[in-house]
Homo-oligomer: A and B are copies of this chain.
Amino acid sequence: MRFLEDMTIGERREVGTFTFTADAIKTFAAQFDPQPFHLDEEAGKNSLFGGLAASGWHVAAVCMKLMVADAQRESAEAAKRGELVATGGPSPGFRELRWLKPVLAGDTITYYKQVESLRPSDSRPQWGIMQARNTGINQRGEVVFSFLATAFVPRRPNAE
C-alpha cells in the first residue's frame, strides 16, 4: 500500500470485482451464516430477499479480500519501480455499514474505495489514520453495500 503522504482526500479507486455464484453463496453461508435464505433457492424466494441471497458478511469479507489483493498489487508495482513500500496497519473499526440491496445468485459486484479523511495519529507518530468510504455496486449500477472504514496507514519515513 501507499504512505499517508501519497494519498489525497476524494481519490476513488476500483478495488476489484466478484460474481456471487449460488455455490459461493452456499459455501460461505454453511460456514458462517447458515440461515435458510442463504442456503436454499426456495427459501430465498420465499424470504424478503426474493431469491438465493449472499450473507451480508460474505459481501463484506469479499470486499476485504479484494482490498488486500489490491493493496498487495499496489505494493508490488511500487517495489518494481524501486520505491519504498508501505505496510498497512490494523483497523479500529468502522461505521455505518449498510446492506442496501440484496446480492442474489449471479450478481456481479464491483467494489470501490474513496478516501474521505487523512490525518496523522496523535499517539503514534509513525502512523496516520485514514477514513475511506467502501462501496459495492452491482451490474445494474445499484449500490448494494457501503461502509465507512477507519485504518492505520504508515507515514513516509522522515516526512514533515
A binding-site residues for B, Cβ under 8 Å: 31-37, 47-49, 53, 55-57, 60-62, 64-65, 68, 72, 87-100, 102, 124, 127, 152
Given contacts A97-B94, A102-B90, A152-B48, contact A68 B34 (CB under 8 A): yes
15 example contacts (A-B, Cβ-Cβ < 8 A) are as follows A32-B64, A33-B61, A34-B68, A34-B72, A37-B90, A48-B89, A48-B124, A48-B152, A57-B57, A57-B60, A90-B102, A93-B97, A95-B96, A95-B97, A97-B97
Shortest Cβ distance from A35 into B: residue: B68
Complex CA distance for A157 and B9, rounded to whole angstroms: 51
Q: From residue A52, how far is it (CB to closest CB) to chain B in Å?
A: 13
How far, in whole Å, are A127 and B32 apart by their CA atoms in the complex? 24
Across the interface, A47 reaches (CB within 8 A) one of B56, B89, B93, namely B89
Q: Which of B57, B94, B98, B152 contacts A64 (CB 8 A)?
A: B57
Q: Report how many copies the assembly holds.
A: 2
Residues of the B chain whose Cβ atoms lie less than 8 Å from the Cβ of A97? 93-95, 97
Give A22 to B108 CA distance when docked, in angstroms. Answer: 33
